């Protein structure tokens, strides 16, 4: 009886592992977008936390105030990464049933 239980648990674990691998592949194709400065700088990041695109409104480019542009870029990228991480956790949570498994995302 115990053997059947362990075999069933192993089978479920293998299924979960396969579904997580599939989900990680899907996350690469999902994107989030975040902006800063009222939309002056926009960052697009995928579910693997890779920066895909950075849009900068030309009106915000001021050679006299490069620091402001740097701050806007940093804010937009950091927010996009944060949203991407949340999206990845939500997607993985669908597979793990809400269990927090360290190192998945």
| Domain ranges, ordered by start, for the chain | 2-96
pLDDT at residue 1 tops 50: no
The mean pLDDT of 39-68, rounded to a whole number, is 95
* List of residues 6+ apart from 95 with CB closer than 8 A: 16, 19, 20, 23
pLDDT for res 20: 83
CATH superfamily for 2-96 is: Nucleoid-associated protein YbaB-like domain (3.30.1310.10)
pLDDT surpassing 90 at residue 81: yes
Q: In the predicted model, is pLDDT for residue 64 greater than 50? A: yes
Beta bridge partners of 44: 33, 53
For residue 28, pLDDT over 70 is answered with yes
Nearest one of 99, 81, 21 to 45, comparing CA atoms: 81
* pLDDT band at 24; cut points 50, 70, 90: confident
């Amino acid at each position: 009886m115990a053997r059947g239980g362990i075999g069933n648990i192993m089978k479920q674990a293998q299924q979960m592992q396969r579904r997580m691998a599939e989900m990680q592949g899907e996350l690469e194709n999902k994107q989030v977008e975040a902006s800063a400065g009222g939309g002056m700088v926009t960052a697009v990041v995928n579910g693997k936390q890779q920066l895909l695109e950075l849009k900068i409104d030309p009106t915000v480019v001021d050679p006299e105030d490069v620091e402001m542009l740097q701050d806007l870029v940093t804010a937009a990228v950091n927010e996009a990464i944060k949203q991407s991480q949340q999206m990845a956790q939500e997607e993985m949570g669908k597979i793990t049933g809400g269990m927090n498994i360290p190192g998945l995302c």
